[in-house]
Structures are given as structure tokens and as C-alpha cells.
Amino acid sequence: MQQQEPESQPEPVDNVKAKADHGLGAGLFDFYASQAEVMLAQYENIVHLLGPTDDWTAPGTHCEVLLRDFLRRNLPSTFSVDKGFIYGRREVKGASKHCPEIDILIHDTSYYRPAFRLEDFVIVQPEAVRGIIQVKRTLTSKQLKSAIENVVEAKRFVRECATQMSVPLDKVFSAAVFFEDNIPEPVNKTISETYENQIVPHFSEFKDGNTMPNYVGSLKHNSLFFSGLNRQRMSYGIYHSVHNGKNAGLQGMLVSLSRTILPHGMQPRFQFPDDYQNFEHFVFYERMKVLFIHDLESSGGGVKPTFLNKAGHDVITPALDDDFDLAVRTAQTVYDQHEPDVIVGSSRGGAVAMNINAGKTPMVLLCPAWKKWGTATTIKSNSVILHSKQDDVVPFEDSEELVSNSNLPSEVLIEVGTDHRLADPEPLKAMLEACEQLRGECRNG
């Protein structure tokens, strides 16, 4: 996951000006900025009443109440804004569990009744859910981790526990909202890395993009907005929550929420200042073109290329001849035609990859059978080898010798898996991570 230079993001800016605007757009921005200040002033009043505290995580209930009241006043009456659980259970790490408690649960009451209601507390069926928000008083590393875990897990409940109809997750909003920020300014890294380290671990394959939170941030400091599900690229843009002395974070979250759960045109035309732009961003998914060179016993449609494809990447798997020289020529032709971002070679396919002219394209070699096939005896510096010490087909020592021949550091060889196939979850994940890391290094190098 590589840090990128700041770029314009689609959230929350909506600067398409209506004809004869007459200043209404700027007025609407100022109106919602003042509404945010009223809410934050109420928050400060309650803090003054309660007095100082060393516990940055509490009290937080009043933050939920204030934000819940704001949303109730700004969403159509077809939605109810409460607190509670999503009905259902799913298997999590081998155990059957219910949904985490959701601080602010937005649900459709036009077509669905709650399974249970007691004042503001509800249990609702997954099909009714439209918004999932965790609210904390102060943003700390621990609270950030917990809030993101809860909203991601809750979205997975919506996806997996719906019994009557499937729920399009791109129509379900989720957020982790904080009123304060107690994370020190980073010295040796960017602000985005603080958030990236907590968000990225929840993304392992393309469909996980639907479970990423739409908004993460502090209403007084920084606001992150998800760029949206996209087969080419997904990222978060980071904005200052306060712009020229006016709060933009709360209305930015409201815009993102409205776009997610309401039809187009069912909210006022928000217009943010022209100079309100993200100051950082990070990309957590970018579609790769992978040339996968299969081994002698495979036809190219196996577990490993399928895994890469499920992760959202384009995988080219040419059928190769049993004759090694013909296989190399075919692979070279396909490489020249498609110009892939990364080459993955498995067993004999690793030897094929080593024997084609691939320029500076990085390679991930899986138990490469280089001693048995071809004439290449070294690899490029932008290569990674995955191999199991329990491999009974290609000795692990062959890969150690290959690294030594190439004058590369030992870290290039990663011991992983329990056999030659490397088809279990751990080596598959290591393969994907190696591809993404090498591609990122190649583009930034």
C-alpha cells in the first residue's frame, strides 16, 4: 500500500454550480457550518459541566446523543435514527457471534419494522439498515482501531445475514466519528499513514471495498472520505475538518451519507469553497495486470490465479506447451503484447519467467524449478521468492542458492506454506502482498 502525492478526490466536494445561484451555495455551506458549531458548542458545554478528566474515551454518550439529534433533524422521516443491533448471527473466527452494538443505527421504517424497539434502542433486520456509525469522544489509536473494526464488521453482518433479499452495500453508509483528536502529529510519517494502518488490514479482496467506512475522522481536525467502490482504484482523501474558520467536516459527512442512502437530487445542492481540497490521500487498492505463468501440471486456471482475480486484479494465464523452449516463446509473446505490472511464475513457470526478457517488470517466483529448466541462474533485484521448507518437489535450498547467485539479501526469499503447491490461505495472501508491494515500489521508484 503505497503513499501517493495529494490529488483531487470526489468526496465531499460538490462544486457544480446551479444556474443563477444568487449566493445560495455559499449560504448553505455557512448554514451547515453554523449548525456544526452549535452542536460542538453543546458538546463543550457538557464537558465544562462534567469537569476535566484523564479518560479520553469517556464520557462519550453525549456525543452520540448530539450527533443522533443532528441526523434526525437532517434526514427524511422515512429513516429512524437509533442505537442498537442488526438481527442475525455469523461465524467469526470459528465462533457464532451477533453483530457489535452500533452507536447510531439508521434504518428504513417505510418498508421494515424493527424486530424490537424500546425507546431509542432497536434490533433491526439487515435489509432495513441504511447507516452504521460508531461515535467516540476522542480519537486515539486504540479508539480508531475499535471503531473501524466495528463498522466493518457490522457491514459484513448486513451482507451475510440478510435472509429475504440481498442488500447492496454501496447503499449502506458507515462511519467512525470522533469529536476530539488526541493522536500526536506524526514526526517521521504522514498523517494518512496513521489512518491507513487501521483501515487497510480490513481489505483483502475486491468485494471488501463495499465494507470500507465512507467517513472516518474528527469533526474538529481531519476528515477522511472514501472515494467509492471502483474496479480500477480505491482511496481515501484527507481534508481539514475546519476550513477558514468554518466547520466543513460535519456537513461533509452529511453529504457523503445523503449521497449513499438517498436518490440523486433528494438533498440540497451542497457547494463547498473552491479551495477546499484534500491535503493528503492514500490508495489502498489499485488494479494490477498480472502475467501468471503456470507450472507443468497446471493449465492456468488454478487456485493461485483465481485468488489474484478475486482480489480484483486482471490475470493473464496463457496456456503453455510442455516443451520448455516453446513455453518460453509463448510467454515472451504474451508479455510483449500485454505489458503486465507483475509476473508470477509457479514451479516450472518460475523458470519460464526467469528466461524471458521482462525488462524491469517485477517478479514473484513460487518454488521456482530453475535448476531443472532453462539457462537462467540469477534473478533481478525487484524479485521475491516464496518457498516452503517442506516442499518435496523443488528443494528449498535451490531458492537459497538462487538468492546467493543473484547477490540479493536473504529477505528476498520468504519461507511460507507447507508444501510445493502454496495453495493455502497464508501463502496465497503472501503472494498477493508481494505482487502489490513490488508493483508499488516499481511505480514509485
Taking the C-alpha atoms of residue 230 and residue 11, their distance in angstroms, rounded to an integer, is 14
Taking the C-alpha atoms of residue 15 and residue 29, their distance in angstroms, rounded to an integer, is 11
Taking the C-alpha atoms of residue 313 and residue 182, their distance in angstroms, rounded to an integer, is 38
Round to the nearest angstrom and report the end-to-end CA distance of the chain: 14
Which residues fall within 8 angstroms of residue 20, CB to CB, at 6 or more apart?
A: none
**What residues pair up with 138 in beta bridges, in sequence order?**
180
| CA torsion, ordered 386, 388, 392, 393, to nearest 10 deg | 0
Q: What is the 3-state secondary structure (H, E, C) of 140-192?
A: CHHHHHHHHHHHHHHHHHHHHHCCCCCCCHHHCEEEEEEEEECCCCCCCCCHH
Q: Which residue has the cell 436518490?
A: 263
410-442 burial, b at 16+ Cβ within 10 Å, e below that, comes to eebbbebbeebbbbeeebbebbbebbbbbbbee
Res 188: pLDDT: 62
Answer whether 115's CB lies under 8 Å from 123's CB.
Answer: yes
Q: Which residue has the cell 450527533?
A: 67
pTM: 0.76
* DSSP conformation class of 3: B
Res 6: pLDDT: 42
> DSSP string covering 270-322, please?
----TT---SEEEEEEE--EEEEE--TT--S-SHHHHHHHHTT-EEE-----S
**What residues pair up with 126 in beta bridges, in sequence order?**
none
Res 27: pLDDT: 87
* Among 132, 10, 22, CA closest to 71: 132
Provide the CATH number for the domain formed by 289-444 in this structure: 3.40.50.1820
Instruction: Give the CA radius of gyration of the chain.
Output: 26
Peptide bond before residue 12 is cis, with ω within 30 degrees of 0 = yes
* Among 62, 78, 75, CA closest to 111: 78
Nine-digit cell at 92? 467469526
Taking the C-alpha atoms of residue 328 and residue 317, their distance in angstroms, rounded to an integer, is 13
Peptide bond before residue 59 is cis, with ω within 30 degrees of 0 = yes
Res 50: pLDDT: 80
What is the residue-level pLDDT of the chain in tens, covering all 445 positions?
444 444 444 456 555 444 556 667 788 899 999 999 999 999 989 888 887 766 655 557 889 999 999 999 999 999 999 999 999 988 888 888 999 999 999 999 999 999 999 999 999 999 999 999 999 998 888 899 999 999 999 999 998 887 777 778 889 999 999 998 877 666 566 788 888 889 988 887 788 888 999 999 999 999 999 988 887 888 999 999 999 999 999 999 999 999 999 987 777 778 898 899 999 998 888 889 999 999 987 766 789 999 999 888 999 999 999 999 999 999 999 999 999 999 999 999 999 999 999 999 999 999 999 999 999 999 999 999 999 999 999 999 999 999 999 999 999 999 999 999 999 999 999 999 999 889 877 765 5
Taking the C-alpha atoms of residue 420 and residue 161, their distance in angstroms, rounded to an integer, is 37
* DSSP conformation class of 100: P
Angle at Cα 316 formed by Cα 415 and Cα 432, nearest 5°? Answer: 30
